[in-house]
Amino acid sequence: MAALCNRFSKACATITNRHFKISTYVRSMSNVPENTVYGGPKPQNPDQRVTLTSLRTKHRKGEAITMVTAYDYPSAVHLDTAGIDIALVGDSASMVVHGHDTTLPITLDEMLMHCRSVARGAKRPLLAVDTAVRVLKEGGMDAIKLEGGAPSRISAAKHIVEAGIAVMGHVGLTPQAISVLGGFRPQGRNVLSAVKVVETALALQEAGCFSVVLECVPAPVAAAATSVLRIPTIGIGAGPFCSGQVLVYHDLLGMMQHPHHAKVTPKFCKQFAQVGEVINKALSDYKQEVENRSFPGALHSPYKINTTEVDGFLKELQKMGLDEAAAAAAEAAEKVEANR
C-alpha cells in the first residue's frame, strides 16, 4: 500500500544516523511493560513468548510465519488473541493512524507511544519496530526492522546485531526511500533489480538479520530469495512463496472506508473483514439514537436514587433558590419511575 510504504520519520532518520554509535548501547531494558495502577499486565510467560528460536524452529519445519502491524493496545491484544507470531509497530502508523500522506512525518515520540501501548497488549508475539533503537530500549520491543540494502544499511544492521539487538531486514519496495525509488513502485521487475533484491537479502542475512521482509516484488523473485536464504522471508505483495506474510492491520480488517484510504489500499491486500462498515454502522446508529433520545434508555441508566433521597434533594435545591433545577429533577424522577 502506499500507506505501508513510507516510513522514515525525521526522528527515525536521526536514530538511523546514530546506528554507528549504538555499539555502546546495551539492551538493558526488559521488554516487560511498566506496572500500571490497575495491576498491570500479567507477567509474561517466557515459555509462550515468540522468540527468535521459536521463529527459527517454525521456519525449519516449513511452517508459515505470521506478522501483522499493531499500533496500540487493542490491536496488540487482538494479535495476541489470534496467535500472530510477530507484532510489527510499523511507521505505517504515520498514515493509517495519524492520517499523514506518507510515513515520513511520524516522530520518534509518537513511535515510542505506539511501542509502549503495543507492548502492554501483546504478551505472546515477538515485538518488532521500524528502525529506531531508542524505541526498542524505551518502547519495550524485542527487535527492530531496518529498511534498505545500501552498504551503509548493511553495515548498520551488522553493528546493531553486534550490539545484541535482533534486526529484521526489509528489501524490495522500501517505503522510507520512496524519494529515491521515484514513488511507491514495485521492485525486482527486471533482471538487474531482481538480482539486486536477492543479493541485498543475502547481504542482510550475512549482516546477521534474523529475517527479511520482501515488499512488492514479483513472486519468482521472492521465491528465489526465500530459497537461497537460511533465514525466513516475510512477504508483503511478494506472492505466496515466502516463509511468512505480513499485512497492515487496518488494511486486512477493511477498516478504512474513507475514499482517501480506499484509494491507497494496495492491490495485494486482501480484506479479511469489513470492520470499517461495522464501525460506520455502529457510529451512525449511536448518533441517531442520541439524536432521537432513545439512548440511553432505562437499560443503560443504571444508577438509582430512592424516593426519600430525591425528596430531600429537591428540598435542598429549593432552599438554594434553584427551583428550575428542582423541577427538572422531579420530572426526571417521575419519568424514570414510569419507565421501570
User: Do 170 and 5 contact (CB within 8 A), yes or no?
Assistant: no
- Look at residues 232, 216, 210 and name the one whose alpha carbon lies nearest to residue 267: 216
215 catalytic per annotation: yes
Task: Give yes or no for residue 111 binding ligand KIV (CB under 6 A).
Answer: no
Q: For residue 257, what is its C-alpha cell?
A: 472506508
* Residue 72 touches ligand KIV, criterion: CB under 6 A: no
Q: Does 256 bind ligand KIV (CB under 6 A)?
A: no
Considering only 9, 66, 92, 265, the residue that binds ligand KIV (CB under 6 A) is 92
- Distance in Å, CB of 5 to ligand KIV, minimum: 8
Residue 122 binds to ligand KIV (criterion: CB under 6 A) = no
**Binder of ligand KIV out of 9, 31, 66, 69 (CB under 6 A):** 69
One of 72, 110, 130, 142 touching ligand KIV (CB under 6 A): 130
Give 81's DSSP letter. H
Contact pick of 2, 7, 140, 204 for ligand KIV (by CB under 6 A) = 7
What's the min distance (Å) between Cβ of 330 and ligand KIV?
Answer: 57
**C-beta separation of 245 from 234 below 8 A:** yes
Q: Are 329 and 313 in contact (CB under 8 A)?
A: yes
Closer to ligand KIV by Cβ: residue 178 or 213: 213
Whole-number Å distance between alpha carbons of 26 and 44: 22
Examine residue 110 and tell whether it contacts ligand KIV (CB under 6 A): no
Q: Taking contact as CB under 6 A, which single stretch among the options 39-47, 54-62, 83-91, 279-287 is the one that binds ligand KIV?
A: 83-91
* Number of neighbouring beta carbons within 10 Å of residue 255: 22
Q: Residues with Cβ < 8 Å from 25, sequence gap 6 or more?
A: 133, 137, 163, 165
Contact call for residue 90 and ligand KIV (CB under 6 A): yes
Least separation in angstroms between CB 111 and ligand KIV: 10
Residue 92 near residue 114 (C-beta atoms within 8 A): no
> Whose Cβ is closer to ligand KIV: residue 72's or residue 91's?
91
246 part of the interface to ligand KIV, by CB under 6 A? yes
Distance CA 334, CA 56 (A): 67
Distance CA 212, CA 263 (A): 28
Q: Does 6 bind ligand KIV (CB under 6 A)?
A: no
**From 215, 277, 309, 337, active-site residue:** 215
- Taking residue 224's Cβ as centre, other Cβ atoms within 10 Å add up to 19
Please report the beta strands in 45-99, taking only residues with DSSP state E, as ranges in sequence order. Answer: 65-69, 86-89
Number of residues that bind ligand KIV (CB under 6 A): 12
Other residues' Cβ atoms within 10 Å of the Cβ of residue 250: 25
Distance from first CA to last CA of the chain, Å, rounded? 53
Q: Does 236 bind ligand KIV (CB under 6 A)?
A: yes
- CA 273 centroid distance within chain: 17
Would you count residue 114 as binding ligand KIV (CB under 6 A)?
A: no
Q: Does the protein bind ligand KIV through residue 91 (CB under 6 A)?
A: yes
Query: What is the footprint of ligand KIV within residues 189-228 (CB under 6 A)?
Result: 213
Eight-class DSSP state of 216:
S
Quick one: how far is CA 161 from the chain centroid?
23
Q: Which amino acid is at 149?
A: G
> Minimum distance from CB of 199 to ligand KIV (Å)?
20
Q: Which of residues 35-64 bind ligand KIV (CB under 6 A)?
A: none
- Shortest distance (Å) from residue 20 CB to ligand KIV: 23
Q: Which stretch binds ligand KIV (CB under 6 A): 57-65, 76-84, 90-98, 195-203?
A: 90-98
Give the interface with ligand KIV as residue ranges (CB under 6 A).
4, 7, 69, 88, 90-92, 130, 213, 236, 246, 248
Q: Looking at the annotation, which residues are catalytic?
A: 215
